[in-house]
A and B are shown apart, each in its own frame.
Chain A
Amino acid sequence: MSNKVYKLVQGNEACVEGALAAGMRFFAGYPITPSTEIAEISAEKLPALGGRFIQMEDELASMAAIIGGSLAGKKSMTATSGPGFSLMQENIGYAAITEIPCVVVNVQRGGPSTGLPTSPAQGDVMQAKWGTHGDHPAIALTPNSVQETYEYTVKAFNLAEKYRTPVILLMDETVGHMREKMAFKDVSEIEIIDRKKPTCKTEDYVAYRPDEDMIPPMASFGEGYRYHVSGLTHDETGFPTNNNEISEKLVKRLVDKVNKNLDDFSYYEEYKLEDAEIVIIAYGGVSRSAKSAVDELRKQNIKAGLFRPITIWPFLEKQVNKVSLNAKEIYVAEMNLGQYFLEVERAACKNCTVKNIGKVNGELITPEEIVQAIGGNK
């Protein structure tokens, strides 16, 4: 305990602290509620650490700049909310196909469009998976507390570096703006993963030739490995190709390197699931209400439990299917009209009934609303 420092911290602040602990030394962003504190605190703290903060002209440019920063060797991040996340999709796809590690934080607010800028929502769940065009890998993590925001921001960087792919930290306004006690871990206690670098001679470097783990080692620009990076479908040298076989191989590898390693980062919480007949599935801010609802339902002699995915993409198919085998009913509670619900329904394979508790009025779903939807006394 002696090496932990406790402080009262805001969710967005915890995100920056986690990023800095993970080694973030480059941040590019554009102001947008409710994520702005992440940019502000990064601007405050980065230069003292020799890092760099730049406010770009928009979110298209912010996303481009962090890819550039990462390619120049710095661990890079941006943060935004719905409207900005929409603009970032273009270059999230670029980061995916060029395999440049970076972290994109989306503190979700009400949508569509400008929507409800200061209110919580979880309407970007599908966008975090399918927002950019084409088949591509997607990793998204959803913390539900200030402490978790700190820890999963670190993990987001680790996964981005390890798998050479953009990673989405999918927060919501509830988590971003709440204040809680948080333990700052000693940096030496935190596992930090850095991207794999080439060890071959510069003239032998084939920039996109993967190792057995499906991931090619990555040189930074300026290190002597002169290579070509392109958003066009490319071969192992990084140069564009129209070859159908090579194109298919590339897209499948990009998706497989993430999906086939899902066991490495399947983060979730199970609460009172052992004998649960009624299972609530909830994530992010809503999962806190869901936990309270479980306790209340238990008091009313209803055997309720909670399954809380933290890794929201790729979908935790195996775990959700297992939950469906033991439950009579699953309720998916989320601040949208049923996005994750559809995935749960699919994975449940009709083993049990799956119902949706959705809300899009800009308010967090309350424990009472969940209890009532399940049929307990309010």
Chain B
Amino acid sequence: MNCNEITKKYYRANKLPHIWCPGCGHGTLTNTIVRAIDKLGLNKDEVVIVSGIGCSSRAPGYLDFNTLHTTHGRALAFATGIKFANPNLHVIVIMGDGDSSAIGGNHLIHAARRNIDITAVVFNNNIYGMTGGQFSPTTPSGDMATTTPHGNIDKPFDLCSLAQGAGATYVARGTAYHAVLMQKLIENGIQNKGFSFIEGLSLCPTYYGRKNKKGSAFKMHTFLKENCVDKKVVDKDPEKGKNKILIGEFYNNPQPEYTESYQAVIDKLQG
């Protein structure tokens, strides 16, 4: 399906143009989700897209599914309610880095622990963009942000390790540059019957880039291109992973899924 067809079928065209800044990676990442849904042939009526608050969380408004723009950090808790109440729905959650791992960190680890069948996609741009460039839990140490005017002394989360440690049964990382890979990872995540966590490295030229002298959006995309290596490559040749960011599929280990386990309780009680 070409771009126009995708837009026509899956976007609320009357809500475009989007609010994201020129060069932002969020549009590309949103499109990888849409293309993954298209590839899997999901019924639009059965797809629910949930988000929290922040730049990333504006994505669902542009998409022609059942869409829920919730409160900051709580997207996964709302999504859990929807999925648990109607397990037939495909529930995809879009969050930002601050949204998912600061204010929403507790909801993230517990959704992962339950292994409820939700696909969580984090648009990680290492900054709070909507509020104007404050550091987030994924801002690298030493970096600049409006609330770290003397350099960031916090240590960043590795979101994929966090999700895997908490019990996610599918964990992967793609980027806004590696759109084809990102789409494939989301397809795999949706197909995993359980909690899937896909981190999408995004970029924020307006705040993170400017504060840290990363150059243009083109340069920031080029950085992703040149500094990310697929785990499969590194598995064969660890040398290739030195000082690089790992992308690709990190963990794929299906386990009993939450709503199915509860359905078994219902079935048992109802004989």
Mark A residues whose CB is within 8 Å of B. 26, 28, 47-48, 50, 52, 54, 56-58, 60-62, 64-74, 76, 90-91, 94, 220-224, 226-232, 239-240
Known: A69-B84, A226-B66, A231-B71. 14 other contacts (CB 8 A): A26-B84, A26-B85, A54-B80, A54-B84, A60-B107, A64-B81, A67-B78, A68-B81, A68-B85, A91-B74, A94-B70, A222-B89, A227-B67, A232-B69
Residue on A with the closest CB to B48?
A221
Contact: B68 with A229, CB < 8 Å? yes
Which of B64, B77, B88, B262 counts the most A-chain CB atoms under 10 A from its CB? B77
Chain-A contact segment, one of B140-148, B228-236, B263-271: B263-271
A57 close to B45 (CB less than 8 A)? no
Q: For residue B113, which residue of chain A has the nearest CB?
A: A57
Given the complex of chains A and B, what is the CA–CA distance between A47 and B69 in angstroms?
A: 29
Q: Mark B75-116, 1 if CB is under 8 A from A, else 0.
A: 001111111111011000000000000000011001000000
Please tell me if the beta carbons of A47 and B262 are within 8 angstroms of each other in the complex. Answer: yes
Q: A50-B266, A50-B270, A226-B66 are in contact. Are A239 and B78 (CB under 8 A)?
A: no
Known: A61-B107, A64-B74, A226-B66. A26 touches B270 (CB 8 A): no
Q: Which of A60, A73, A91, A232 has the most CB of B within 10 A?
A: A60
| Docked pose: A239 CA to B61 CA in angstroms | 7
For B61, give its contact among A28, A71, A72, A230 (CB under 8 Å): A230
Q: Which residues of chain A have C-beta atoms less than 8 A from B15's C-beta? A: 239
Contact B78 A65 (CB under 8 A): yes
The answer to whether A91 touches B44 (Cβ under 8 A) is no
- Chain B residues contacting A47 (CB-CB under 8 Å) are 262, 265-266, 269
**A226-B65 CB under 8 A given contacts A61-B80, A90-B71:** yes
Find chain A residues with CB under 8 A from B269 CB. 47-48
Residues on A with C-beta less than 8 A from B85 are 26, 52, 68-70, 72-74, 76
A94 touches B69 (CB 8 A): no
Contact of A52 among B12, B64, B84 (CB under 8 A): B84
With A28-B81, A68-B80 as contacts: A226 and B106 at CB distance below 8 Å: no
The interface residues of chain A lying within 8 Å CB-to-CB of B84 are 26, 52, 54, 65, 68-69
Closest chain A residue, CB of each to CB of B45: A224
Q: Are B81 and A231 within 8 A (Cβ)?
A: no
Given A26-B81, A72-B86, the answer on whether A228 and B67 have CB atoms closer than 8 Å is: yes
Contact of B81 among A65, A229, A232 (CB under 8 A): A65
B69 to chain A, nearest CB (A): 4
- Given that A57-B106, A74-B85 are contacting pairs, would A68 and B66 also be in contact in the complex, using a CB cutoff of 8 Å? no
* In the assembled complex, B158 has its CB within 8 A of some CB on chain A: no
In the complex, 7 of the A-B residue pairs with CB atoms within 8 angstroms, ordered by the A residue number, are A47-B266, A54-B84, A61-B80, A74-B85, A90-B74, A227-B66, A239-B15
- By a beta-carbon cutoff of 8 Å, the part of chain B in contact with chain A is 12, 15, 44-46, 48, 50, 60-61, 64-71, 74, 77-86, 88-89, 106-107, 110, 262, 265-266, 269-270
The distance in angstroms between the C-alpha atoms of A228 and B82, with both chains bound, is: 14
* Chain B residue at minimum C-beta to C-beta distance from A62: B77
Contact between chains at A60 and B74 (CB < 8 Å)? yes
CA of A52 to CA of B78 in the docked complex: distance in angstroms?
15
Q: B67 near A56 (CB under 8 angstroms)?
A: no
Majority SS at the chain A contact face = mixed
Q: Which residues of A lie under 8 Å from residue B83 when comparing CB positions? A: 68
Identify the 6 closest CB pairs spanning chains A and B, nearest first: A68-B81, A65-B81, A64-B77, A72-B85, A61-B77, A230-B69
Q: How far is the CA of A240 from the CA of B85 in the complex (A)?
A: 26
Q: In the complex the two chains form, what is the Cα distance from A57 to B81 in whole Å?
A: 13
Q: How far is the CA of A230 from the CA of B15 in the complex (A)?
A: 14
Other-chain contact of B89, A66, A72, A76 (Cβ < 8 Å):
A72
Q: Given A57-B106, A221-B86, A231 and B66 touching (CB < 8 A)?
A: no
Q: Determine the chain B residues whose CB is within 8 A of the CB of A52 once the complex forms.
A: 84-85, 262
A58–B107 Cα distance when bound, in Å, is 9
* CB-based contact B66/A222 at 8 Å: yes
Closest to B80 in A: A65
Contact of A68 among B82, B88, B265 (CB under 8 A): B82
Q: How far is the CB of B242 from chain A (nearest CB, A)?
A: 38
A230-B80 Cα distance, complex, nearest whole Å: 17
- The interface residues of chain A lying within 8 Å CB-to-CB of B266 are 47-48, 50
Taking A54-B80, A72-B86, A222-B45 as contacts, is the C-beta distance between A64 and B60 under 8 angstroms?
A: no
B107: chain A residues within 8 A (beta carbon): 57, 60-61, 64
Contacts of A90 in B (CB 8 A): 71, 74
Q: How far is the CA of A227 from the CA of B12 in the complex (A)?
A: 10
Q: Which residues of B contact A50 (CB under 8 A)?
A: 266, 270
Q: When the two chains form their complex, are residues B80 and A231 in contact, meaning their CB atoms are under 8 A apart? A: no
Task: Report which of B71, B80, B262 forms a contact with A56, defined as CB distance below 8 A.
Answer: B80
Q: Considering the chains assembled together, what is the distance between the CA atoms of A72 and B70 in angstroms?
A: 15
Please report the C-alpha to C-alpha distance between residue A52 and residue B70 in the assembled complex, in whole angstroms. 22
Q: Report the nearest B residue to A51, measured CB to CB.
A: B266
**Given known contacts A57-B106, A57-B107, A228 and B78 CB-to-CB distance under 8 angstroms:** no
Q: Are B77 and A240 in contact (CB under 8 A)?
A: no
